[in-house]
Structure 1
C-alpha cells in the first residue's frame, strides 16, 4: 500500500477518534440521568433508523452474505459496548480507558491466530509503545477485579470487530455494511433493556441533543468512516491509529477546563503518537525501498 492511498483512511480514522474523544463529557452527563443500556439503545436505534432511511438500496446490494456479515459485526460491537459499559460501572474511567485500549494488543494476536498474518517486529514495537502510552494516560494504580475483566472482554470483542471488518469491508459496501451494523448494535442494546421493560427515553432537550449527536455523528458517522477506512488499511495499523482516542479525550478535557495538563498526559500522548507514526512510516519506507530497488535494476 502506498503512502498516498493510506493517507486519507488514516486521516479519517483520526477524525473519527477525535469525535469519540469529544464525547466523554456528553456521555458522563447523560448517563448520570438515564440508565446506560437505555442510552445505548436509543443512541443506536436513532443511528440505525437514519442509516436505513438514507441507504436502503446499499443494504439490499450487499446480498445474503454481506447482510450476515454486517449483522455479525454489529452484534460483536454491540456486545463489546455493553461489556465495556457494565465494566465502567465497577471501575474508574481511567482504568476503563486503559483496559478498553488493550484492543491494540489483541488485534495483532487475533489477526495472527485467525488469519495467519505475520506481524513485522516494528508492528509489535508500535503495539508496545501504544500500550505504554495508554497506561501513562489512564492509570494511577490498577486492581484487576470484575470490572477490569469485563472491560478486557470488551477489548477482545473490539479487536475481533477490527480484524473481521478489515477482512470484509470494501469501499463499495461501506454504506450498507454500516447500516446493518447499526441495526444489530441497536438490537443488542435493546435486548439489554428488556429486563426493566424496555428503554427509557432521554429526559430533556439537552439529553436528546447529546443522544442525537452520539447516534448520528459519533455512532453511524464514526462507524461509517471506520468501515470505509478499514477497506484500505491493515487491521493492526487501524487499531494503533485508533488508540489516539484517549489522547483526544485528554486534550478535550484540558481545553474544556475539566482536567489539568500533566506530564503523564504529555508523555502518554507522545508514546501513542509515536506508535502511530511508526505504523504510518512503514508503508512509506517500503515504497521508497521498492522505488530505489527498481531504480538500481534499471
Structure 2
C-alpha cells in the first residue's frame, strides 16, 4: 500500500515550484488559477521574493499548499491508498483526497495563514524543539515550565523529537530546564506564533466560520488526521478535526504508525523539501520512503 504525505510550514524555499511551473502546462494553469483566487501573485513570492517575505505565515502556507497540490495533481490518484499531511499539509491531503475543491482549499489555507499570523501578533508566543527526551519526562518538563505560563506539546514529530508551543516565558523556561532533565538538545524555533497551542484560540472561531462557508465532502481515500492520528473519510469528522487542529498537538508519529499498521509500506512526500522523509525514517526504518519535489522527480515518476 502507498500513502502520499504532504509537508507543513517550514518546508518552503526561495524559487520553489518555479521549474514545475515552466515544465508542465497543467501545473502552470493550477498556479495561475491560485493567483486569481488569492487576488495577488503567490507565484511571484514563491519564485522570486526574498526569504523573509516567503517566511511570513500568510504567504508560507498558500505557497507550500500550492507547490504540493500542483505536484500531486500531476501524479494523480491511481495506486494511492491513504494520505496525510503535517499541520498545514493536512489541507493538501484533504484536497487531494477530494474532500474539498482546489478553490475552497486555496481560500481556506490563505485565510488560515492570515488568522494564525494575526493570532501570533495578538498573543505573542514561541515554539521550541526538544530532542532526545522521553514522553513521560516531557510531561514533567511541561508541568514545571507551565508554572510560568501556557506551554504544551505541539508536534509529536518522531520518537524523541517533540516541538513545544506556548507563552514566551514558559517556552524559554522549558528550553532552560530540558538539558537538566536529560534532553540532548532544546532550541527555540524562528516562528511567528505559538502554533498548535491555546494561544491560537482567537483564530479558531474565525477558521470555523470560514470552514462552515465551504462544502466539505467525504474523502475518496482515508486521510489520517493530526488530531486523532486515525484515518478519516466522513465530512463531519473532517470539519471538526480541522477546527481542533489549530490548538491541538500534531500527532505525526502516531499517524505514521497508524498508516503502517493499516498496511502502508511506501510513503511518498509530495511537495517541497525532505522534512517528512526524515521523520518517517526515524519512526520506522523498514518502510520505503521517497520524495517528489521538483520537475525532474515528477518526470521520473511519470515515466515509470
Which of the five TM-score ranges fits, normalised by the shorter chain? under 0.3
Question: Rg larger in 1 or in 2?
Answer: 1
Kindly indicate which of the two structures has a greater share of residues assigned to helix: 1
The alignment's TM-score, normalised by the length of structure 2, stands at 0.26
The alignment's TM-score, normalised by the length of structure 1, stands at 0.26
